[in-house]
A and B are shown apart, each in its own frame.
Chain A
Amino acid sequence: MSRLQLEDLQLARGGQTVLEHLDGRFMDGAITALVGANGSGKSTLIASIMGMLRPVAGKVECQVPKERCAWLPQQLALDLTFPMSVEELIMTGTWPSHGALKGYCAAHYRRGREIMARLGISSLAHRPLGELSGGQRQRALIGRTLMQEAELLLLDEPFANVDIETVNVLTDVLRDTARQGATIIVVLHDLEQLSRLADDVLILAGGHGRWASPESLLERYAGQPAKAPRLPFIFPDTLDAGTV
């Protein structure tokens, strides 16, 4: 089953076509890695899936309700000077069920605390967002998507500038979330992370997309020196060597 499909999609930015003839379905309950060089259209594709960019041609068919879609862009629009604690941020994830008015009840606070415990940020519950490290902030934001019970997660390089422990915690949490049926799309540059996380891979290059299995990618690059497990390699002439 697939609740998210692309049909002959053509996308443009500023009058310039970025991607065309993009087809395929993102598997439910699976993590799809989105791979490609800078400027290959990863963020453009994500913006159009989120409905923030109208396709030039073709369409994105998304059956996940809008309020159950979560997007963590790489450049966050988050105002870190705003006085809000980690717990308060995670509680805003109740928006789909609570909207602007409904009060939070004890059960929701309990759920918030469970989420924080799972992400290992219980001790930071009352810490202002502006005082968090990059990794802690990323965990808190993933916490909000869990609270939101997001069924479609779009994560743009969630592991950039994040410590190894956070990578491990988030990898586990994302795997669990996928197992529960969510569709997850993650922009990745790192072959090792791809091997741990991805069930499916969509490679963007030269304005086109190509689907691949993580195994085939790993097999192909199994002989690469371990010190440089960087993606993407698949079209070396059009892709740079990764920028994580």
Chain B
Amino acid sequence: MLELFDAWLLAPFDYGFMRRAFVAGLALSLAAPPLGVFLMLRGMSLIGDAMAHAILPGVALGFLLAGFSLPMMSLGGVLSGLLVAVMAGSVSQMTGHREDSAMASFFLISLAGGVMLVSLGGSSVDLTHVLFGSILAVNTTALVLITAITSLIVVTLAVIFRALVVECLDPLFLRGQGVRGGLVHGMFLGLVVLNLTAGFQTLGTLMAVGLMMLPATTARFWSKRLEGLIGIAIGIAMLASSGGLLLSYHLSLPSGPAIILLAGVAYLLSALFGRHHSLTERLRRRAAPLGSAESS
């Protein structure tokens, strides 16, 4: 029994690349899910996807200029992500169109631009790497970068937390208090971009969104409280990233999809068996009798 435990859970971490991948996964699991929870609560679950596309041209440009240098690619990603967010925000403000339509237009432009840049400058292998990442190829520089970015995200989120909550709930109240809601919103989107940049090395630009959104949407089936949502989402993300890593090691699967698929399994199971709004919960109690204890 103990031997099996050792062989399955501990032995893989004899390898340096597995240890680095493990730490990178945990760091991302701390930073990404809280952002995902807020995106979900604001009805912006798909914005993460749009943002992931938006960082692509920057990453590609960094790659073209400096070769496979993670800091340069990350910097490019952050810049192009922020640029798209700012441009989408200002276009929607100037034209009065809804922000999602401006965002959709800009992320499609950036996606095409990014793919074009990558194809001009490299082979399709490079494109695959940018799009799908490789958590097993995380070196020490990458790990330092990832942990630094995720720490920055966690600290900044803690600082703007109350403002963000009030802005989500009642923007008018926050405005009455002399705080510009747009500023809080902008900082939050900035954190989303940063997080995706931290995630693209390990999971790829597209799958980095998965670690952000899937744990958040899963947590909705288990808690009705904000702290609960965030805590559960972080837990799920940590389990998925370490579990997915082990699965990919033992079964020779690609690590990024293994992690996200594991989170996806958690989502589907929760949709079936979760405590709130799940299928079984709905079937179990159509109506609670009068006088029964509250279920929240």
Interface set of A (CB-CB < 8 Å, partner B) = 50, 52, 66-67, 69-71, 73, 76-79, 81-85, 89, 92, 95-96, 100-101, 126-129, 131, 144
Contact = CB atoms under 8 A, between A and B. Distances in A.
B160 interface: yes
A101 B162 contact: yes
What is the interface of chain B mostly: helix, strand, loop, or mixed? helix
A102 to B, nearest CB: 9
Contacts of B225: 83, 85
Interface in B63-94: none
A82 B177 contact: no
B165 interface: yes
A100 B160 contact: yes
A100 B156 CA distance: 12
Given A83-B226, A100-B160, A101-B162, A69 B176 contact: yes
A50 B169 CA distance: 19
A92 B173 contact: yes
B162 A89 contact: no
Contacts of A92: 162, 165-166, 169-170, 173
Q: Which of A78, A81, A100 has the most CB of B within 10 A?
A: A100
Contact of B176 (A70, A76, A82, A129): A70
Contacts of A77: 170-172
Contact of A128 (B41, B178, B224): B224
Contacts of A81: 41
Interface in B152-208: 159-163, 165-166, 168-179
Contacts of A83: 41, 223-226, 228-229
Nearest to B168: A82
A145 B171 CA distance: 15
Contact of A67 (B169, B176, B223): B176
A79 B38 CA distance: 13
Given A100-B159, A100-B160, A84 B165 contact: yes
B281 to A, nearest CB: 16
Given A66-B176, A92-B173, 15 more contacts: A67-B176, A67-B177, A67-B178, A71-B176, A77-B172, A78-B170, A79-B170, A82-B169, A83-B223, A85-B225, A92-B162, A92-B165, A92-B170, A95-B166, A127-B296
Q: Which of A50, A69, A84 has the most CB of B within 10 A?
A: A84
B172 A71 contact: yes
A78 to B, nearest CB: 5
Give the bracket for the number of chain B residues in contact with chain A.
20 to 34
A84 B164 CA distance: 13
A76 B173 CA distance: 10
A71 B173 CA distance: 8
Contacts of A96: 177
A131 B159 CA distance: 29
A97 B229 CA distance: 28
Contacts of B178: 66-67
Given A71-B172, A89-B169, A131 B162 contact: no
Contacts of B296: 126-128, 131
Q: Which of A52, A66, A95, A96 has the most CB of B within 10 A?
A: A95
A182 to B, nearest CB: 15
Given A83-B226, A100-B160, A66 B170 contact: no
What are the 9 tightest A-B residue pairs by CB atom distance, in nearest-first order? A100-B163, A82-B169, A77-B172, A95-B177, A100-B162, A83-B226, A67-B177, A66-B178, A78-B170
A176 to B, nearest CB: 22
Contact of A73 (B172, B223, B224, B294): B172
A82 B225 CA distance: 9
A185 B4 CA distance: 73
A126 B226 CA distance: 13
B159 A79 contact: no
Contacts of A66: 176-178
Interface in B99-119: none
28 contacts: A67-B177, A67-B178, A69-B176, A70-B176, A73-B172, A76-B170, A77-B171, A78-B169, A82-B165, A82-B169, A83-B41, A83-B224, A83-B225, A83-B226, A84-B165, A84-B169, A84-B226, A92-B162, A92-B165, A92-B166, A95-B173, A96-B177, A100-B159, A100-B160, A126-B296, A127-B294, A127-B296, A144-B173
A104 to B, nearest CB: 10
A50 B176 contact: yes
A140 B178 CA distance: 22
Contacts of A85: 225
Contacts of A127: 294, 296
Contacts of B228: 83
